Amino acid sequence: MNTLFAALLVAVSAGNDKALHLYELNPKTGALVQRAKIDLPGSPGAQCLSPDGNRLYVAVRNKNSVAAFRINHAKKTLEPLGLTDIGANAAYVATDRTGRTLLWASYSGGVVGSHSIAHNGAVEKNALSRIETHRCAHAILTDASNQFAFVPHTCPNAVYQFRFNAKTGKLTQNNPLTATPAEGLEPRHLAFHPKLPIVYFDDEKGDSVTAYAFNKTTGQLKAFHTASTLPKDFDGAKNTCADIEITRDGKFIYASNRGHNSIAAFAVDTKTGKLKSLGQFPTGNIPRSFNLSPDNQWLIAAGQRSHDLHTYRRNPKTGALTKVSQQPTGKGPGWVQFIPVHKVKK
């Protein structure tokens, strides 16, 4: 077991169950043992951890709310801190780099916003900022400096660019407001390279990953490289990309294919940031979400239509994935979130 944590929990948003399914990963076999089923008042979606690893936030989509939980590391449980109505169906939630502000993006509402996080970890009700963008806002993340935030949109095929004030928790429009990808790509989720000034987006309709040069002074993006997530002999009309992850060392990227039903893997050029395909690894039916473990040893993907979890052991040198377990989960799993359990001093 990694010395950085005592155990690994995995929270799965089962939208059709209106519940979170909480598992513990067996570090020897990769099997998941269910520890709890947490019922919610609506369908859970996106999840995020606070930077200190002590809080979990979950979008309860059809209730226009976010549920907050305290992670009890000693008992390996989630303790509810409350449900906050944010006035929007959040397709994505994330904290800023300090953990003092919750950011969200609403796909159906075409709006982004921010809320303060109270000292006890609950989300404050009144919005700090609320800005209309366009329908199909899919994600929101701040950069390492915590000064800029990016919101990929699929329908207008654009990345909206914002400035973020960590002291006030407010978002403001950057100028220009959008970066425009090549026609037909439609960016969905994003990942920041840990060392290079590059942001990667997986393209829902483009069946690809696109790299953008990131100007750390102006907060502007400019696309410079795109790589397909599919094998050449597969019909791209039958596929859409969903999620993207980058390893902590910045050497590998993974993206999910819904239709081809696979995780596409790429090696990242350490100087240019360009991608080289390593092929695809089969997974469940419609892998809407997957997650890398904090130590990057594991990857778990959820089949949204096959209602199952696929666990892979990752080769840190080659980036290859080896499936070690497959098991059923709740109905309609739409998000997978690793939760490292800290060692508790007695």
- DSSP secondary structure string for all residues of 212-260: EEEETTTTEEEEEEEEESS-TTS-GGG-EEEEEEE-TTSSEEEEEEETT
Q: What letter represents residue 88's amino acid? A: A
Sheet hosting strand 7-14, strand order edge to edge: 32-39, 19-25, 7-14, 333-341
- For the stretch 106-126, pLDDT in tens is 999 999 999 999 999 999 999
Domain coordinates of the chain in residue numbers?
Answer: 88-326
Kindly report the number of other CB atoms within 10 A of residue 317's CB atom.
8
What's the average model confidence in pLDDT over 301-307?
98
Kindly report the number of other CB atoms within 10 A of residue 230's CB atom.
20
Question: Can you give the pLDDT at residue 3?
Answer: 52
232's CB contacts (< 8 A; 6+ apart) are: none
Q: What is the mean pLDDT of the chain?
A: 97
CB 111, CB 132: distance < 8 Å: yes
Q: How far apart are CA 298 and CA 144, in angstroms?
A: 24
Q: Three-state DSSP class for 61? A: helix
What's the average model confidence in pLDDT over 180-195?
97
Burial class (CB in 10 A: 0-12, 13-18, 19+), 217: exposed
pLDDT at 207 over 70: yes
Q: Structure pTM?
A: 0.97
Question: Can you give the pLDDT at residue 77?
Answer: 98
More confident: 5 or 179: 179
Dihedral sign of CA atoms 158, 163, 167, 170 in order: negative
Question: Can you give the pLDDT at residue 346?
Answer: 65
Q: What is the CATH number of domain 88-326?
A: 2.130.10.10
Return the closest-CA partner of residue 341 out of 45, 53, 34: 53
pLDDT at 277 over 90: yes
Kindly report the number of other CB atoms within 10 A of residue 232's CB atom.
6
3's CB contacts (< 8 A; 6+ apart) are: none
Question: Can you give the pLDDT at residue 57?
Answer: 99
What's the average model confidence in pLDDT over 316-337?
98
Residue 281 confidence class, pLDDT cut points 50, 70, 90: very high
pLDDT at 4 over 80: no
Residue the block writes with tokens 């002999």: 233
Query: pLDDT > 90: what percent of the chain?
Result: 96
Question: Can you give the pLDDT at residue 1?
Answer: 41
Retrieve residue 10's tokens.
């995995």
Sheet hosting strand 298-303, strand order edge to edge: 289-292, 298-303, 308-314, 321-328
Retrieve residue 171's tokens.
């978002």
Q: How far apart are CA 61 and CA 90, in angstroms?
A: 6
Q: How far apart are CA 226 and CA 128, in angstroms?
A: 36
Residue the block writes with tokens 């914002």: 162
- For the stretch 33-49, pLDDT in tens is 999 999 999 999 999 99
Q: What letter represents residue 304's amino acid? A: Q
